Amino acid sequence: MRNPLQQPWLTEKSTRLTEQKGQYVFKVRNGASKSDIKAAVEAKFGVDVASVRTANYIGKSKRQHTRKGLIEGKKTDWKKAVVTLKDGQAIDYYAGSSAEGADKKTNKG
């Protein structure tokens, strides 16, 4: 299976969870299981995971009225994982990414 982690979910609430409880929030693939998420976090960040909680979010249906008629669609479903680390451990989301981002910005011709 591909890496289940899509991106860190950085909001005010998730930042508060990180600071107060040592819990980190990620947007993950819909088919990812808790054991897949745990293995991916441990492999990518080199930390020990104590627990994983997941929540499935159903995408809203949307309608748009146009001259040609009604267009119906749906936002995508997505899944969120809250990962709790063992005591004394932390994840740095930005480790190594700032230098890579600076190189990409300066190399634009």
What pLDDT is stored for residue 30 in this prediction?
Answer: 94
- Give the chain's domains with CATH numbers: 5-106 (3.30.70.330)
Residue bearing the bigger pLDDT, 107 or 21 = 21
**DSSP 8-state class, residue 76:** P
Strands (E) in 1-109, as ranges, are 5-8, 23-28, 49-57, 61-66, 69-74, 78-85
Residue 102 CB-density burial (10 A; 0-12 exposed, 13-18 middle, 19+ buried): exposed
* pLDDT 10s digits, 8-59: 999 999 999 999 999 999 999 999 999 999 999 999 999 999 999 999 999 9
Instruction: Name the average pLDDT for the chain.
Output: 88
Q: Is the pLDDT of residue 101 over 80?
A: no
What pLDDT is stored for residue 93 in this prediction?
Answer: 78
Pairing of strands 23-28, 69-74: unpaired
Whether the Cβ atoms of residue 85 and residue 22 lie closer than 8 Å to each other? yes
